[in-house]
Amino acid sequence: MRKVISSSWFSKLAWMPVFLLSACAGMKPEFAAQDLDRWAQEVLKSSFRDEKAVKVSILQQDRSNAECSSARSSGLELSDQARQEIEAENLKTVRPPEDGQYFGDFKQGEALAQDGRGMTWSDAPGQANGGQCYNCHQLSAQELSYGTLGPSLYHYGVNRGVTDLQSAVSKPVVEYTWAKLWNAKSFNACSAMPRYGHHGILSQAQIKHLMALLLDPQSPVNR
């Protein structure tokens, strides 16, 4: 996601290494890393501003993002306890569809999955966002290019035995898929997948369209 940066950004970055090195020289080793990280974040945050759909508040990390970022930067894995707690906390945020219906139109879901618009400094607040699923996943056999940061979703429903969207056999897969789209960190604490429902990136109607794309036997994902 692109952020708007003020004109002072380059000048601040130019002197930041000098500032950090000089500050580090007079600090006790046990405090240096923590304080330098805090100061660096303050400098960077001061260079951002609200602009249309992009808000400075996005820089505020919740526990999930903060602990996963810290683990990555240190080259360590989250502890099993932290992972389980984060996943449990995120699972509590999942809201089932208000009308009890999990599926929309897979054709609209396909268009949504291939739509990368939304949530940049040039987008008006409240504008409908795309799903950008193609950035990380293969969706159908017809696609010529797609991202590989996430697993292929081709035959997502077929591989999970979904032949009837309304059957009791399909219910666990349906509920899992909805929760994964709503808040991916419910099942993977450090998932890089957008938390579509939790952060209001997509509406319930849009998530239903993606559900149909992934699970409807007639969708291009499952053909």
List, for residues 35-66, the tens digit of each pLDDT value: 877 887 788 778 888 888 888 887 889 999 99
Q: Rounded to the nearest 10 degrees, how much is the dihedral formed by the CA atoms of 161, 166, 96, 110?
A: 70
Q: Which of these ranges, 4-8, 12-16, 146-150, has the smallest mean pLDDT?
A: 4-8
d(CA 116, CA 118): 7
Cβ neighbours of residue 80 closer than 8 Å, sequence gap 6 or more = none
- pTM, two decimals, is 0.80
Domain 106-215: give its CATH superfamily: Cytochrome c-like domain (1.10.760.10)
List, for residues 80-122, the tens digit of each pLDDT value: 999 999 999 999 999 999 999 999 999 999 999 999 998 888 8
In 66-90, which positions are buried (b, 16+ CB within 10 angstroms) versus exposed (e)? Answer: ebbeebeeeeeebeeebbebbbebb
Closest to 142 measured CA to CA, from 105, 110, 103, 177: 110
The residue ranges of every structural domain in the chain are: 9-91, 106-215
d(CA 223, CA 210): 16
Q: What is the predicted pLDDT for the residue at 191? A: 97
